Every structure is written in C-alpha cells, then in structure tokens.
Structure 1
C-alpha cells in the first residue's frame, strides 16, 4: 500500500509529554517543604508523647502541635481558591464534584489524631489516651510522608521508577531533621527545666539526621545521573547555576543549622539562633528540591534550559 504523502504543515510524530506536569515553581516547592517539615514535627511530637518522654504541660504540647498544623495546612488553604500557580493539593483539585486523591485522603486522616491530642493533653501528658493518640499521630504522619513521596515523580521521571524506593527514606529523614529543628524552637522558646528533647543527646541526634540526610540526597542525585536506561547528563548539559545552587542549598541545609546546634548551648538568644536554623533549612531544602526538578527537566529534554 503506498505511503500517504506528507501534507504541508505536517510535523513528524513526537513523544506526547502532555501528561507530564511541569515542575513546580520555587514558591510551590517551599510550601511542599513546609508541609514535610510539619509532618516531621507531628511525627516527633507524637513519638515523644507515645513514649512518655515529652515535657509535662498542656502548653508545651499545644504550641508545637499548632505550629505543625500551620505548616501542614498552608498548602491546602492556598490551593483552595484554585490559584494559577497552585491549582491542586496532592493532586486534588478543589471544586464542586471533585474527589480527593488517596494522598489527599491520607493527609486528611492525619488531622484526626492531631485533634485528639489537642483535646487530651493535660498537665503530665501521661494519660493512656494521650499516649495512644500520640502514637497514632506519629504513625499517620509517617504513612503520609512515605505514601506521598512517590506520587510526585511517577509521571515526571518514569525512567527512575526502579529507584522510587529511595525517595521515601530521604523524605522521612528530611522531615525528621526539619521537624526536629522546629520542635526544638518550640521548646527553647518556652521556659522550663532541661528535658531529654532539649539536651545534648537531642542536638547530637539532629546532627546525625543531617548526616543521614546528606547521604540520602547524594544517593538521590546519583540515581538521577546513573539510572539505567536514562539519558546521562553530559558535562555540557550541566549548567553552572546547578552546581552553584547546590552549594548554596547545602550551606543553608547543613552548615548553618549544624553551626547553630553547636553554638546554641553556649550563646544567648537561643530562640533567634534556632529560628535561624529552622528557616535556613526550609529555604535550603526548597532551593535544593527546585534544582532537582530542574535537573529532571534537563534529563527529560536535553535541550531544556533550567
């Protein structure tokens, strides 16, 4: 059968990338990092309450609980009006007749133990229902972090599907590291006697989390470069801005918070120092994740400019 002649204006068939969403902007990425930090704060708070090692006092528990709620809820509140730069939340477009995604349902379920803790915390926080609610909050936060970590890249990076199992680890470590800084800020801002969460072992634990996070992020970048069947990023395809941005992000994520962790025990103005560490970590993680998405775009389309 003779081939059909190519009509004027016809273009050769190309790969259909219409189903691949564009990588989020820096603002959206910052909101995602804030949400991850909030879930990490809930995770550590619920774990401490469940184990019975959290400081006594109703306010001591309500302050970090409320802060975590703010960090987690900023994203869905901004997505509610359907802004052009943030049309959905966890794949859920709000509107009449819309149904929540599984990620969105899991995130909503996590609010239930949070509300239970808000109504149960008392003076010593040793009530069995309080501890059970804390354990439920920790479990739901962990499940939400793990389950939502894969959905963001299933369509953007199909070539990296065998390596999805590495991303939940990095997200959980990142959440615990950033959430630990925010939890530490809540505790140092409240007067009280030293507790296991504000003592030197806690500071060492945060530094250990920083090391684990650096290792997990390094593995994630290596997976992007060496994924089997993927297009290797040639040296000419690596813009200098990418490496400069990664250096700035590493400084904000690891150097500044770790220096603050070492100095906060001997210097005054601990609240300001710890606040600086927490904000620096959020900004650094936002920049780092934005650069990672830009590198994914380069990998998918070598002619794409970050």
Structure 2
C-alpha cells in the first residue's frame, strides 16, 4: 500500500505542477521546476522498480506482471506513457514559462497524470470487487482527491524549501485553504466509502476486527489532522519548513494505513460473498 500512496503523490505532484506551469502561476527557475518533477518521478517509479525486481510483496504494477511473458495492460501502458510529457517538461522548462511548447507539454502532463490516476482506480476497483461492494463512484473520486492532496502537500514542501530564508508569502493562505478544502472533501468521500462497504458487506459489520476504529482514527489523524495543523503553523514558526516535511510524510503513512485497512475490508467482503454463494448452491447427489 505504501507504493500505491507514493504513486498517488507522484501523479498528483505532476498534475498540479503541470497545471501551474500551464497557467503561468509557477514562476520558478529551472531548478525549482526540476525538483518536484524528479520527486514525482521517484514516487511513481518506486512501484515499477519493485515490480521489476519481482519482490514478494509486489507481484504486479498496474495489473502487469513484469517478466512473466505477459503483455502490459492498458493501465500500465498509460502509466508508462505519462513519463513522456514529464521528460518533455523537464527538457523545456527554463524559468520563463511563456513559451507555448512548455505550456502545451505541461497541459499534456497534467492530463496524462489525471487519466493515470482514474484508470488505476478503476483497475483496482475491478480486481478487488469494489464495484459489487457499492463503491462504483467513491473509489475513483477518493483516489483523485488523494492524489491532489498528497501531491499538493509535497509541492508545498518544495515551495517552502525553495526560499532561504523562507518568505511569508511562500505559504500563502489561499494555498493553505485550498489544501484544507481538499482534506475536508477527502475525509467526506472516504467516510461515505466506508459506510457503503459496511452496508453491503454480507456480515462485514458483524465481524468487525478489534481495533479497527482505533486504526481508522489514527489514519485519519495522520492524513488530515497533522497536515492541516502544519498548514496553519508553518508560516508562524521559524523552523516551520521541517514541519511541512513531517506533515507530508505523515500523510503517506496515514494513507498507507487506511488503504491497508480498506483492502482488508474488501478481502473480507470477497470471502463473505464467495461463502454466501457457496451456501446458495444446492448439493447434487448421484
């Protein structure tokens, strides 16, 4: 689950950076643009590298089993194609983003990242029977909001560390308010998804694991409470830039925990569904 969260943060970072470059509101030099591009590339490539090494905990990447004589899935091809506009933006960015080719590549990067997040959400939904669990709409929206929120936090970290010493305007209130609104929407959508899963779990709510509520509370605190508190405190503290890094890292840990809990819930749902289907079929005697 950690690799999935890193990929979401990477695609969200590319998506927001591409959108900012296309709109001309990211007035940074070449180095300031290459840092978030490289950070997003590291996040996205972590899962690909783990799948290529055939680690026991990572058997596939976007549904593609690398090295097993299997052709890449459509989801994997879209993910691989996203590297092309990223490399194009890295080669074209020069600090003056008024050049039309740079803006065009930035738009393509943002769109490819958006499509990759949505297709990966639909692929996960299909593989994990989330559609039957009543999560047809919540899961893609949740992944998109998670990508925007995680990518926004890491882009915020890049902006905070860009200035030495940091200026008060770097962490502006509009940026903080935008991330706070995304956090609120993400919490709402995830809450609806958990409610839908419990309502269709075929006994999931009757077999709730002990400590689930505590683990969900811990995940919610790491996802929303710590980053939101950091958004408010960073401009007021002298060494607030390190608090921004801790907030972004806390989001990765919390989101990984939440996705793991959600995956466990979907697994129990699938087992309960198969057990119920087995009971429904009558036995045939010769």
TM-score by length of 2: 0.90
Map of 1:266 onto structure 2: 236
Map of 2:276 onto structure 1: none
Contact 2:12 2:149 in 1 (8 A): yes
Check if 1:300 corresponds to 2:273: no
Contact 2:34 2:90 in 1 (8 A): yes
Number of residues of Structure 1 aligned to a counterpart in Structure 2: 273
- Of 194, 201, 205, which residue of structure 2 is paired with 1:234? 205
Alpha-carbon distance in structure 2 between the residues aligned to 1:232 and 1:196: 52
Larger radius of gyration: 1
- Of 222, 234, 237, which residue of structure 2 is paired with 1:252? 222
SS in 1 for 2:125: coil
Check if 1:131 corresponds to 2:99: no
Check if 1:285 corresponds to 2:258: no
Aligned-pair CA distance for 1:296: 1.6
- Of 71, 88, 101, which residue of structure 1 is paired with 2:43? 71
Aligned-pair CA distance for 1:99: 1.1
- Of 173, 177, 181, which residue of structure 2 is paired with 1:204? 177
Contact 1:56 1:123 in 2 (8 A): yes
Task: Evaluate the alpha carbon distance shift between residue 170 and residue 278 of structure 1 in structure 2; reply closer, same or farther with a 3 A threshold.
Answer: same
Could you say what the CA RMSD is over the residues aligned between the two structures, in angstroms? Answer: 2.1
Alpha-carbon distance in structure 2 between the residues aligned to 1:187 and 1:301: 46
Question: Could you report, residue by residue, the CA deviation over 1:195-221 in whole angstroms, capped at 9, with x for unpaired residues?
Answer: 987311001000000000001101111
Check if 1:153 corresponds to 2:125: yes
Task: Evaluate the alpha carbon distance shift between residue 93 and residue 34 of structure 1 in structure 2; reply closer, same or farther with a 3 A threshold.
Answer: same
SS in 1 for 2:235: coil
Contact 1:226 1:232 in 2 (8 A): no
Aligned-pair CA distance for 1:97: 3.5
Question: Could you report, residue by residue, the CA deviation over 1:11-62 in whole angstroms, capped at 9, with x for unpaired residues?
Answer: xxxxxxxxxxxxxxxxxx0011000110000000000011111123111111
Question: Could you report, residue by residue, the CA deviation over 1:157-180 in whole angstroms, capped at 9, with x for unpaired residues?
Answer: 266265322211111111000100
Alpha-carbon distance in structure 2 between the residues aligned to 1:195 and 1:149: 37
Map of 2:13 onto structure 1: 41
Alpha-carbon distance in structure 1 between the residues aligned to 2:95 and 2:209: 55
Map of 2:190 onto structure 1: 217
Contact 1:196 1:202 in 2 (8 A): no
Alpha-carbon distance in structure 1 between the residues aligned to 2:179 and 2:247: 12
Alpha-carbon distance in structure 1 between the residues aligned to 2:240 and 2:258: 27
Map of 1:170 onto structure 2: 142
Q: Unaligned stretches of 5+ in structure 1?
A: 1-28
Map of 1:114 onto structure 2: 86
Q: Could you tell which deviates more after superposition, 118-127 or 249-258?
A: 118-127
Q: Which structure's residues are more often helix, by fraction?
A: 2
Alpha-carbon distance in structure 1 between the residues aligned to 2:17 and 2:155: 8
TM-score by length of 1: 0.84
Contact 2:12 2:151 in 1 (8 A): yes
Q: Could you tell which deviates more after superposition, 58-67 or 154-163?
A: 154-163
Q: Could you tell which deviates more after superposition, 94-103 or 82-91?
A: 94-103
Task: Evaluate the alpha carbon distance shift between residue 178 and residue 158 of structure 1 in structure 2; reply closer, same or farther with a 3 A threshold.
Answer: closer
Aligned-pair CA distance for 1:240: 2.4
Q: Could you tell which deviates more after superposition, 122-131 or 33-42?
A: 122-131
